[in-house]
Amino acid sequence: MTTLVSPQGASEVINARRTESLDAPSILKLVQPETENLFGLVNVVNLIEKAVLAVTLSNEKDEVLGHAAFFDYPNVASVDQSKWEDWLGAFFDCKNCTPLNTLFLHYFVAKREYSHGVAREIVRTMFNAVPEMHFCFLIVPNGAFPDSALANIFKPLDKLEGVKGPDNCVVFLCHRHNHVPVLHIRQARVEDHDDLTPIFNRQSDMLKMTYGDFFLAELIEAQDENMQCLIAEVEGTAIGFMSVCNIVNTGLLNECFELGPYHGLSKPHPDDELEAPKTPTPSPPTEPEQMSDDKPASGRSSATDRSTDSKQQESTMDDGRKDETEKTEEMKSEAGKSEVTGTASKVSQSVTGTADTETRVKPKLSEAALGESSSSLLSHGSDHGSQKSATSQDKPESAKSSRAAASPPAQSLSPKPVTPMIPKPRKRFVPKYKGESNAFCIQLFIIDERYEMRSVDFLPKAFEMFPDRDFCAMTVPHLVPEFPLLQKFMRATPRCPSILSQELYLFHGAGLLKDFRVRPACTSDSESVEKLVSSLDLHENLIADLQQFNKARRDDDGTEIQAYVATCNEKVVGIAVARIEEDIEYIRSHYNIEDFIYYNHHRRDEHGHLYHFALNPAFAHFSKHFLKEILRQGHKTCLYYPVYPPFTSREVVGKHSLVSAMNDMVPVRPRRQITYPLEVLGSNAPSERVLQTKEQYSLCHINRKLTLEPKVVINARIVVVGASDTGVALLETFVFCPHLRFNNLTLISPHGLPGEMPPDEVRDQMMGTSHCYSQDEYTQTSLRTWVNVVYGKMTAIDRKKKNVVVNNSTLVPYDHLIICTGQQYQIPAPTEADISRLATSNEAPNSPDRWFRGTPPKNVFVVNDAYDAAVTLYWVENHLVNSPGKALVYGNCLDAYCCVQTLMSMGITGDRIILVEPPLNYQTTCFNNETVDAAVLKAMKDAGIEVYSGYLLAQWNDGKGGEEVITASFTSSTKPIRLECEAFFSYYKKKVDYEAFRAINDACLVFDGRLVIDASFHTNDVSIRGAGTITKFQRRYHADQWTHSNFNLKEVGIQLANTMLSLFDPTLESEREPPQEIVNLIPMYRSPKIQGGYLPGGYYYLHIGKPSLNVPLDVQMAQRDCGAEWITGTPGGTPDYFRLHMNQYKTVETVTCLSKQPIDTSNIICLYGLHERYLNDPAQRCVVYGSNDFYSYFRQPWCLAVYHDRFADFRDEVRELLVTRPADGVEALEEKVRQLIDEDLQMNDSQKKNLKNEFSTSRSKRAVETRLLSFLSYNYYHLPMYAKPGMV
């Protein structure tokens, strides 16, 4: 905060912030007559939209006092923005001015009485925000002269001798040193102690408490050749301190971090052990050996994949190979390793005392860069060894092959336990470096907050203290926010295992060089570029594009190519290739790019598509500047980069390579699409550019505004256990916070992230769906780009050391642990009732709900996710389909019925399928609809399926054991049954996994049937939270029937993420401890609970309902306030069954569909919560007009706007109009309605009529109509079927 004083003595406390487009009206009010003379007539919104830095000063009332817009090129129309250096250098002596250190002031306005102070503060803010800036130019037309506020800051620039100067403008210059000078750094003296002590005391008293009052003086006095202390001085006063030391335990750091790209922070030595010892190639196993190979694994793993993964393991062992003599050219990236940041640590013994194998870990794509990248666009763990196999996939995988990829090799002729298979991970090789240390470290650093943006000024002096060292290292705790000094450092990737619970940051001395320039590539750069990118994934695409650029500057189809190299001291240190974005209409319609830009202010040719980007990590802090230069020199304002799913074919990925700048870009949320009735719309359908079918991808974006906007870096280790809808929603919310960057997001899951397998309709139909996420949505969010994945199960939690144990062998450290594993189907435990004695279920000696702890039979399957489904269907396809045996499905849930239908889809006839339904858990069936129940039962009986209801599993094979189930016995309340089967599919009750229960219970977390949490998701450990179906609320809430299972789990995950964001987001109020609850109430959620599936009889089923308890439908409809229901059609009839239920307030509360035709699911879900007026009174049309087909009714063109993804925003805007007072002293319409309701709970017809008349004659009606037309007009590319004014 700063205080400005006007010449009249008035004062204002001001705050500097980045300008938003919403500030434009306030900025226009500050325009003076001389403003247009200086800067011309400008579009302020367009100026804000395209400025690299726009600063606004506002007072405590948020009133705008001043604004300035800075660009990276001059505001001279005749000057090409990519060639301003030549133009400026032709007239002025400005050889030190480069795009790296220069900005241009394009616009300035201020409140007249504060203009001098505003100008000074804005310029100071600009130099503080961008430490690299040293020059700021002001260019005005001839005949104009800056007002006194600017004239005091900007001085005329001296022309070259004998040069006239530009004809149409005058150039003024402002220097950094007049406003925010570079700090003077010197060696520390003992007398500096008095200046520094207050700074230390303000920020922390830990050192004083540990080492005494005079620890700083003692440290300064102890300086020697190995340890030096530096001081930052301003006007003779010490304002900052840094202690540096050249004694660095590089061996320990190399054990804990991936330092191969930096040669282990050591100088090269001939005895360095850089490569893993070669092992002899084993002879191929015999067929019996292959059949007995039963290794655990995850993801996709066919026989081919296993060999690929072996290469991946070898490649990840390769560390630094390059000599570091040419540091600016040979540096490699720290990122993209096959370890997750601080996540995995192999221990010698498992929990039970036996040695276990190392757990597979997959790093996030955003850490891939130059060097030994083990991340790939195409494969699951692509390093050098996997690139060949990944890029050789010339065709997309079929559904059949994708199932095979998750299953045992085809040589397996007899049934066996079907588990995912990958090679047993080898012990990772750690290079040994024999050379001397090549790094010094920062032991202690502190600086006055007012000068912290100049922290980087310490580094030149620090390297001067140790001229023989090339690296500066600093370790910081995970929970320490990243301060400005660290923004110039490279973050090292932790190794697996890492015994250091800190982050390691590195800075290479070459990063101090300021001769960093970007220019178009040329033919002579080819050799340097090839050397630079040799380890980059799909680098061959980059080289091919560079060759094409050098050959013709465009593709064979005429598309222009733009290739740029970054150089330092005349050496190539970076390369980027871009083209124009040809599919910008598709991107706009499918991704929320308008969260970041005003689309209408960007020409079509200003959108660029980034294909390649690689930068030497020594210059990683110039990455955004490189992107900014691509935009400037390419005359672009936006860049886009797609990330395709791992199963995508090479043809689809096209000419891309994995870029190293994803952390500088922002992920863009996908948009929900309308399902259009194209046969009805005809020529009124959206354009082909919007409707075209493309391979799905996630999108990263950067624009001019973002190039100088830093992200808040969060290093806290956030570990999410379970890839449930709740866990995915939590991670998605974190990832899509554009101003935050979470470095240590980790997911622990047996099969990794969902959506990583190729699409397979049959596989996806084997289970019901909650419609929280679809395959396309998983692809479009691409969490693999931002989240590290540990494959395995949580088997223990060490709360004291804050570690999660995975697979009894791997330690995953955490700062915040979120348990959202959900509940799963388990191998059923027979009750061991003896049916030979005609025992009933009540006489069973054991509970059917206990955990099965033995060895499961090989032909018993439980399906909990897509991977389980792929494994199961592979077995069905290769064993069950071609045998005469029967399939027994045990369960009464939606998934069980979906399994029955899937088995029939695979070719198993109904007479070979048996469905055994256990007794109901609740009073309702899974459908809670007699019509649907009857239709499904009839379809199964018509297909010849045997159905037994009310039975519990008693024995397998009559209690005699065996590796496979041949017979299964069941008991009921009456007589038992004994059934023969070749495969047993269990969908008995979902419950908490035993390993998860044991981990939770042994960690002394409160477990009461489920993990106990409070209303804020906290367990009894403040660092551990829980959410999803694994949890229940504490008993003090007296709401035992309500759990997260009753709600939309995606919404639960989003709410949990929003609750946690207050811990990390500086723009939110920080939560230091769980808030005290005044009233013991559980949170309620608004999103609908949805379920759907593909049922016997070929029925597509969809149910959308309000979150509620399991109450029979007839009981619900008997309530007085239940509202009314309307039903059209019958199951299998013409039309099909559609039930619409509206509550007492005439809003849609329940929708049930059962149809032989695919349902427009995304459209129908949008109906929930809408008032009947939005839907043209469907109930009235059903009763009065005899409309008997809701399917066709809701496919009519008039209702398509209701399905638009921004329709909810439009509704909020309309409501805002009705709750806002039109003028002072005039009541809003909502206030009048509330008054009438407060007087009487129901309005009479006369009161309603008066309100309607008042609304019709008010300005609110016109405002609502205007807003509606604006909504339709702005989204016309999605809604061209609506006529606009003037068309009719």
The pLDDT of residue 1181 is 76
For residue 691, report the phi and psi dihedrals to the nearest 5 degrees: -90, -10
What are the distances in angstroms from CA 324 to CA 263, 274, 464, 526?
8, 14, 19, 21
Q: Packing angle between helix 1229-1239 and helix 1207-1219, nearest 10 degrees?
A: 70
pLDDT value of position 320: 35
Q: Which residues contact 680 (CB under 8 A, 6 or more apart)?
A: 1195, 1196, 1197
- 565, two tokens: 């190299």
Residue 957 in this model has a pLDDT that exceeds 60: yes
Give dist(CA 150, CA 145) in Å, integer.
Answer: 9
Task: Read off the pLDDT of each residue in 775-787 and give the average, rounded to a whole number.
Answer: 94
pLDDT tens digits along 87-122: 999 999 888 999 999 999 999 999 998 999 999 999
pLDDT number for residue 333 = 33
Are residues 959 and 998 in contact, defined by beta-carbon separation less than 8 angstroms?
A: no
CA 257 – CA 337 distance, rounded (Å): 10
774 pLDDT higher than 50: yes
Rounded Cα distance, 316 and 373, in Å: 8
CA atoms lying within 13 Å on the CB side of residue 991: 18
HSE-up of 960 (CA within 13 Å, CB side)? 7
Q: How confident is the model at residue 1097 (pLDDT cuts 50, 70, 90)?
A: very high
Query: Region 171-194: what's the mean pLDDT?
Result: 93
d(CA 611, CA 1104): 42
Q: Helices in 1173-1206 by DSSP H: which ranges?
A: 1178-1183, 1190-1193
Whether residue 304 has pLDDT greater than 60? no
Q: H helices within 398-443, ranges in order?
A: 399-404
Tell me the C-alpha distance between 505 and 517, whole Å: 25
Give the separation between CA 301 and CA 292, rounded to whole angstroms.
Answer: 16
- Dihedral sign (CA 762, 764, 767, 769): negative
pLDDT of residue 947: 96
- Checking if the pLDDT of 1087 tops 50, the result is yes
CA dist 835 and 561 (Å) reads 77
Band (345; pLDDT cuts 50, 70, 90): very low
- What's residue 368's pLDDT? 61
Span 1120-1133, pLDDT tens digits:
889 999 999 999 99
For residue 312, pLDDT over 60 is answered with no
Least confident residue range of 397-411, 957-971, 1099-1113: 397-411
- Residues in CB range of 1025: below 8 A, 6 or more apart: 816, 817, 818, 819, 1013, 1017, 1018, 1019, 1056, 1060
pLDDT-derived band at 206, boundaries 50, 70, 90: confident
Burial 830-856 (b: 16+ CB within 10 A, else e): bbebbbeeebebeebeeebeeeeeeeb
**What is the pLDDT at residue 423?**
38
- Reply yes or no on whether the pLDDT at 124 is more than 70: yes
417-462 confidence digits (pLDDT tens): 333 333 344 466 788 999 999 999 999 999 999 899 999 999 999 9
pLDDT, tens only, 1190-1217: 999 999 999 999 999 999 999 999 999 8
* Per-residue model confidence (pLDDT) at position 639: 97
Amino acid code (one letter) for 440: F
- Across 697-823, the runs of DSSP E, i.e. the strands, are 698-703, 712-714, 718-721, 740-742, 745-749, 788-791, 794-798, 803-806, 810-813, 816-819
Element (H, E) at 38: helix 33-39
What is the structure's pLDDT at 361?
Answer: 83
pLDDT surpasses 50 at 303: no
Residue 1219 reports pLDDT greater than 90:
no
Q: What is the average per-residue pLDDT within 202-213?
A: 72
Report pLDDT for 592.
97
3-state secondary structure of 1221: coil
pLDDT, one tens digit per residue, over 239-296 is 999 999 999 999 999 988 888 888 899 999 999 888 877 655 544 444 333 333 333 3
* Average pLDDT score, the chain: 86
Please name which of 1224, 1225, 1214 lies closest in space to residue 1260, comparing C-alpha atoms: 1214
Express each pLDDT in 823-881 by its tens digit.
999 999 999 998 888 788 888 899 999 999 889 999 999 999 999 999 999 999 999 99
pLDDT(406) > 60: no
Residue 377's pLDDT is: 59
| The pLDDT of residue 397 | 46
Is residue 584 over pLDDT 50? yes
The string of DSSP letters for 1223-1240 reads STT---HHHHHHHHHHH-
Residue 962: the pLDDT is: 87
Q: Is the pLDDT of residue 1073 over 70?
A: no
Q: Which residue has the tokens 């489904």?
A: 869
pLDDT of 310 higher than 60:
no
pTM, two decimals, is: 0.89
pLDDT digits (tens, 9 = 90+) for 664-707: 999 999 999 999 999 999 999 999 999 999 999 999 999 999 99
More confident residue, 360 or 388: 360
Place of tokens 């597979």: 360
- Give the model's confidence band at 319: pLDDT under 50 very low, under 70 low, under 90 confident, else very high: very low
Q: pLDDT band at 1180, cuts 50/70/90? A: confident
Kindly report which listed range (148-157, 403-412, 864-873) carries the lowest average pLDDT score. Answer: 403-412
Measured CA to CA in angstroms, residue 767 lies from 317, 987, 1078 at distances of 40, 10, 42
State the average pLDDT over residues 884-900: 96
Which residue would you say has higher pLDDT here, 479 or 409? 479
Condensed to tens digits (0 to 9), the pLDDT of residues 38-77 reads 998 999 999 999 999 999 999 988 899 999 999 999 999 9
1183 pLDDT band, cuts 50/70/90, is low
Residues belonging to the chain: 1288
pLDDT band at 307 (very low <50, low <70, confident <90, very high): very low
